């Protein structure tokens, strides 16, 4: 990507807007000079976070090799990698102290709060100047935009939640693994049939380590209710106890748990527990990231032919399915030259294989040689012809049963993506873990009271800042 001088000039104006919003930002717009004088060919040094520690030598060496290759192709840009990773506890001190890397990887959950506080660079015009990044999928791009459509990050990895299931158990129970449930009532029926006809649990959900709240938020969206509302001033309000959708999702759990007895006997499960049970053929269905194939097959021993994934069932008033992933952000302290160089780096390190056939083939062939899964992106980040071209480049190395992904991929265009709660998402998830556990362990649990108390607690955490 070569950025035009016009783009950088306009980006400088965007930066001024971002800095005006954030008390923590350190760049003085007056010191930037005339944006028209910005020279993208001038020598510039950027710091990039997320260098793997020495305990992970292969990943570390891989990134360092990419730095060397990038600098050879961009002789005016010096890249200084460092091990800094995202942490809500250290982000503000680093920003205030001027030690935040020029670019850093952050989860989807954090970007809207950073935008609201003016703590991230406005990349709108820089992205528009990139042939590849200007093709970011609009639904995924929306996660890094403000209400005016300005762009504050580069989403490079995305997933949505889906119904992950064990095809072998479906067949054993007399169900068609090519026709997984498409409604919650069908999920309930399938869970009953599997429980009655196999030794496996029909359906289970995560309940610990914030995953219970994460999954409950997903079901709340699918049943038609949000978790938080944010007004035009950036003030967030927890709403999950008021919409009725979260209560409806918990009633769904209660029905399967206490009436149907199709949720097994373990109600303290984190993501590892759920994945292990699926891999071992002890669980037939759960709600999880639709990109679970590699984790289940490589790490949990699931036979490839037993992996199934489908679009998350949606009620009549559903908002969509929860979407998450990772974003590369640029520090608001960056100069326009540094921001332009950082975006060059992001495109190189995150999207090179989608833009260069040799890089695509190298990536796919090396994974195939290591017996690692190779398949097209389930949720393409880049739209248009880019992902289609990439799939053609790697076609001969694809080794995953992509036809088994069809019940999920066929729904992507129809189910809207809903971002995670924008403020204190992990705190919200942790609070709701206890609610999910109560519903699954206490037959007479008062769902309305539990949700009301949880909402009050979450609001207090939001208000505490």
- Rounded to 10 degrees, the C-alpha dihedral 216/221/226/231 comes to 130
Show the domain range for 362: 44-159+324-394
Report if residue 25 sits inside a domain.
no
- Residue whose structure tokens are 């942490």: 87
pLDDT of residue 456: 98
Task: Tell me the C-alpha distance between 268 and 355, whole Å.
Answer: 44
Q: Is residue 197 part of a domain?
A: yes
Say which range, 198-207, 269-278, 343-352, 372-381, has the weakest mean pLDDT.
372-381
Give the predicted TM-score (pTM) of the model.
0.79
Number of other residues whose CB lies within 10 A of the CB of residue 380: 20
Q: Which residue has the tokens 């389930």?
A: 378
Question: What is residue 347's predicted lDDT score, i.e. its pLDDT?
Answer: 92
109 found inside a domain:
yes
H or E stretch at 357: helix 357-369
Least confident of 105-114, 202-211, 219-228: 105-114
Residue whose token pair is 């979450």? 458
Q: Give per-residue pLDDT as tens, 425-441.
A: 889 999 999 999 999 99
pLDDT of 125 > 60? The answer is yes
DSSP notation for 420-454: PPSSSHHHHHHHHHHHHHHHHH-TT--HHHHHHHH
Q: Determine the Cα–Cα distance for residues 291 and 84; give it in Å rounded to an integer.
A: 26
> pLDDT tens digit string along 39-86?
788 999 999 999 988 877 777 887 899 999 999 999 999 999 999 998
pLDDT at 451: 98
Based on the domain organization, do 221 and 197 belong to the same domain? yes
pLDDT on residue 235: 85
Query: Do residues 382 and 354 touch, judged by C-beta distance below 8 A?
Result: yes
| DSSP calls for 184-252 | HHHHHHHHHHHHHHSSSEEE----STTHHHHHHHHHHHHHT--SEEE-TTS-EEE-TTTSSHHHHHHHH
* Claim to verify: residue 136 and residue 175 sit in the same structural domain: no
Per-residue pLDDT at 131 exceeds 90: no
Q: Residue 326 pLDDT > 80, yes or no?
A: yes
Shared-domain flag, residues 377 and 415 = no
Query: What total of structural domains would you count in the chain?
Result: 2
pLDDT above 60: residue 412: yes
* 310 and 334 part of one domain: no
Average pLDDT, the chain: 88
Residue at 373 is within a domain: yes
The whole-number pLDDT of residue 82 equals: 96
* CATH assignment at residue 283: 3.40.190.10
pLDDT in tens, 223-266: 999 999 988 777 889 999 999 999 999 999 999 999 999 999 99
Q: Are residues 251 and 311 in the same domain?
A: yes
pLDDT value at position 37? 55
27 has a pLDDT exceeding 50: no
Do 249 and 334 lie in a common domain? no
Asked whether the predicted pLDDT for residue 13 surpasses 60, the reply is no
Residues 215 and 314 in one domain: yes
* 154 vs 381, more confident: 154
Tokens found for residue 54: 């020495």
Residue 324 is predicted with a pLDDT of 85
Where does a domain end: 369, 394, 419?
394
Listed residues 362, 394, 426: the one ending a domain: 394
On whether both 440 and 367 belong to a single domain, the answer is: no
Answer yes or no: is 26 within a domain: no
Distance CA 349, CA 347 (A): 6
Query: Mean of the pLDDT values across residues 124-142?
Result: 83
Q: Calculate mean pLDDT across residues 338-356.
A: 91
Q: Report the pLDDT value the prediction gives residue 251, as an integer from 0 to 100.
A: 98
Asked if residue 405 lies in contact with residue 308, where contact means CB atoms within 8 angstroms, the answer is no
Question: CB count, 10 Å around CB of 82?
Answer: 13
Same domain, yes or no: 281 and 179? yes
Predicted pLDDT at 139: 79
Strands 44-48 and 77-81: parallel
Same domain for 174 and 150: no
SS3 382: strand
3-state SS, residue 151? strand
pLDDT at 405: 96
Under a CB-based contact definition with an 8 Å cutoff, are residues 290 and 309 in contact? yes
CA angle 108, 454, 314 (to 5 degrees): 55
Domain boundary among 366, 394, 422: 394
Angle between helix axes 425-441 and 447-463 (nearest 10 degrees) is 160
29 within domain boundaries:
no
pLDDT of residue 247: 98
Of residues 218 and 128, more confidently modeled: 218
Q: What is the dihedral of CA 90, 91, 96, 100, to 10 degrees?
A: 110
Residue 401 lies in a domain: no
Phi first, then psi, for residue 136 (nearest 5°) are: -55, 140
Count of helix runs (H) and strand runs (E) in the chain = 18, 11
Q: Which has more pLDDT, 27 or 442?
A: 442
How does residue 203 score in pLDDT terms, banded at 50, 70 and 90? Answer: very high
Answer yes or no: do 415 and 387 share one domain: no
Are 416 and 423 within 8 A, CB to CB? no
Of 99-103, 154-158, 282-286, least confident by mean pLDDT is 154-158
Assigned token pair, 155: 């989403």
pLDDT band at 384 (very low <50, low <70, confident <90, very high): low
Q: pLDDT at position 38, please? A: 59
Residue 19 resides in a domain: no
- Whether residue 33 is predicted with pLDDT greater than 90 in this model: the reply is no
Percent of the chain whose predicted confidence (pLDDT) is above 70: 92
358 lies in the same domain as 387 = yes
């Amino acid at each position: 990507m070569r950025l035009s001088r016009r783009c950088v000039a306009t980006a400088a104006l965007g930066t001024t807007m971002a800095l005006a919003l954030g008390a923590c930002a350190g760049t003085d717009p007056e010191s930037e000079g005339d944006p028209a004088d910005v020279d993208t060919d001038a020598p510039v040094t950027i710091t990039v976070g997320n260098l793997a520690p020495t305990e992970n030598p292969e990943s570390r060496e891989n990134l360092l090799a990419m730095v060397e290759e990038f600098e050879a192709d961009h002789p005016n840009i010096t890249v200084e990698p460092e091990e800094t990773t995202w942490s809500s506890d250290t982000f503000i001190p680093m920003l205030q102290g001027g030690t935040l890397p020029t670019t850093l990887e952050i989860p989807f959950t954090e970007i809207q709060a950073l935008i609201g506080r003016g703590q991230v660079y406005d990349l709108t015009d820089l992205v528009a100047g990139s042939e590849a990044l200007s093709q970011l999928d609009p639904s995924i791009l929306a996660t890094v935009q403000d209400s005016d459509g300005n762009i504050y990050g580069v989403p490079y990895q995305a997933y949505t939640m889906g119904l992950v299931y064990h095809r072998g158990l479906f067949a054993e129970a007399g169900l068609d693994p090519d026709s997984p449930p498409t409604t919650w009532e069908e999920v309930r029926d399938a869970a009953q049939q599997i429980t009655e006809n196999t030794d496996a649990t029909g359906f289970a959900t995560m309940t610990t380590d914030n995953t219970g709240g994460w999954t409950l938020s997903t079901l709340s969206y699918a049943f038609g209710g949000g978790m938080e509302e944010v007004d035009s001033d950036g003030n967030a309000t927890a709403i999950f106890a008021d919409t009725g959708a979260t209560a409806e999702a918990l009633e769904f759990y209660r029905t399967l748990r206490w009436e149907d007895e199709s949720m097994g006997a373990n109600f303290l499960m984190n993501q590892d527990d759920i994945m292990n049970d699926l891999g071992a053929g002890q669980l037939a269905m759960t709600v999880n990231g639709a990109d679970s194939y590699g984790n289940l097959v490589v790490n949990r021993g699931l036979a490839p032919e037993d992996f199934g994934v489908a679009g998350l069932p949606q009620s009549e008033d559903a908002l969509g399915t929860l979407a998450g992933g990772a974003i590369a952000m640029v520090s608001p302290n960056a100069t326009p030259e540094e921001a332009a160089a950082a975006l060059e780096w992001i495109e190189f390190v995150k999207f090179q294989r989608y833009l260069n056939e040799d890089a695509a083939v190298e990536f796919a062939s090396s994974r195939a040689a290591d017996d690692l899964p190779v398949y097209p992106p389930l949720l393409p980040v880049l739209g248009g012809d880019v992902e289609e071209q990439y799939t053609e480049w790697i076609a001969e190395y694809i080794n995953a049963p992509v036809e088994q992904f069809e019940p999920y991929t066929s729904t992507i265009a129809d189910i809207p993506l809903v971002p995670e709660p924008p403020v204190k998402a992990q705190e919200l998830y942790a609070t709701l873990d206890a609610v999910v556990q109560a519903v699954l362990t206490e037959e007479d649990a008062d769902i309305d009271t539990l949700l009301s108390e949880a909402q009050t607690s979450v609001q207090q955490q939001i208000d505490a800042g």
